[in-house]
């Protein structure tokens, strides 16, 4: 399925949020090598990690298709998507 640039940006934001959850859990639980995790902690982390990897893979695949359809270098599309997702332009002020 083809995606617009804005859809790619939203997909990237979702992947970034999922990655943030993985990092949050790791920070909360500590490193598994220094403090053993409970089975519930391990399951929560693994679920979050798999969700992030799935979202990230979907973004990568969609970026590849978009770049091919636009006949543009993939790395340029990916960089633009990540930049827009992570550094959105501020909304114009209304008076």
Quote the CA–CA distance of 40 and 37 in Å, as a whole number.
Answer: 8
The owner of tokens 């992030």 is 52
Is the residue at 63 inside a domain? Answer: yes
| Burial state string for 42-76 with b = 16 or more CB within 10 A and e = fewer than 16 | eebbeebbebbeebbeebeebbeebbeeeeeeeee
Domain coverage including residue 13 = 5-30+38-86
Number of structural domains found in the chain: 1
Quote the CA–CA distance of 29 and 31 in Å, as a whole number.
Answer: 7
Q: What is the pLDDT of residue 84?
A: 96
Is the residue at 93 inside a domain? Answer: no
Quote the CA–CA distance of 84 and 80 in Å, as a whole number.
Answer: 6
pLDDT (tens place) for every residue of the chain, 95 residues total? 679 999 999 999 999 999 999 999 999 998 877 778 999 999 999 999 999 999 999 999 999 999 999 999 999 999 999 999 999 887 777 76
Angle at the Cα of 58 from the Cα atoms of 55 and 64, rounded to 5 degrees: 145
Is the residue at 92 inside a domain? Answer: no
Q: What is the pLDDT of residue 91?
A: 72
Global confidence as pTM: 0.86
Q: What is the pLDDT of residue 93?
A: 73
Q: What is the pLDDT of residue 52?
A: 98
């Amino acid at each position: 399925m083809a995606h617009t640039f804005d859809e790619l940006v939203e997909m990237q934001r979702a992947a970034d949020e999922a990655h943030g959850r993985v990092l949050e859990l790791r920070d909360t639980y500590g490193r598994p090598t220094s403090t053993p995790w409970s089975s519930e902690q391990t399951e929560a982390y693994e679920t979050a990690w798999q969700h992030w990897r799935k979202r990230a893979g979907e973004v990568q695949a969609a970026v590849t298709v978009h770049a091919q359809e636009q006949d543009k270098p993939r790395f340029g599309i990916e960089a633009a998507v990540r930049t827009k997702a992570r550094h959105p332009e501020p909304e114009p002020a209304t008076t």
